[in-house]
Amino acid sequence: MLPPHFDDHPLGCHRPRIDDALVFDKLVEVLVFGAGYERIACPGCSATTLRRRRDEWIRLGVWDRLRLACVDTFDKMIGLDLADLAVDGCTTKAVCGGESAGPSPVDRAKGGMKRSQLTDGGGIPLATVSARANIIDQHLLAATLDALKDFQPLPAEVTVHLDAGYDYRPCREALEQRGLRGEIAHRATPAPIQVGRRWVVERTNSWLNDFGKLRRCTERRSDCADAYFALAIAIVVVRALHRAAWYLYRWNTRPRSPRAR
Identify the pLDDT of residue 186.
Answer: 85
Average pLDDT, the chain: 90
* DSSP3 helix / strand / coil % (the chain, rounded to 5): 45, 15, 40
CA dihedral 198, 200, 204, 209 (to 10 degrees): 70
Q: Which residues contact 31 (CB under 8 A, 6 or more apart)?
A: 211, 212, 213, 214, 228, 231, 232, 235
- Burial label for 44, CB within 10 Å (0-12, 13-18, 19+), is exposed
Q: In angstroms, what CA-CA distances link 225 with 49, 92, 96, 131, 149?
A: 18, 12, 12, 10, 22
Identify the pLDDT of residue 251.
Answer: 85
Identify the pLDDT of residue 13.
Answer: 63
pTM: 0.91
User: In this structure, how many other beta carbons lie within 10 angstroms of the beta carbon of residue 75?
Assistant: 17
Identify the pLDDT of residue 256.
Answer: 84
Each residue's pLDDT tens digit, 210-249: 999 999 999 999 999 999 999 999 999 999 999 999 888 8
List per-block mean pLDDT (blocks of 10 residues) for the chain, which spans 261 residues.
Answer: 77 78 95 94 93 95 95 94 94 89 89 94 94 91 93 92 90 93 84 74 94 92 95 95 90 82 64
User: In this structure, how many other beta carbons lie within 10 angstroms of the beta carbon of residue 205?
Assistant: 21
CATH entry 3.40.50.11270 includes domain 61-248: no
List residues bridging with 131 in a β-sheet: 114
Domain ranges of the chain: 61-248
Type and span of the H or E element at 227: helix 222-248
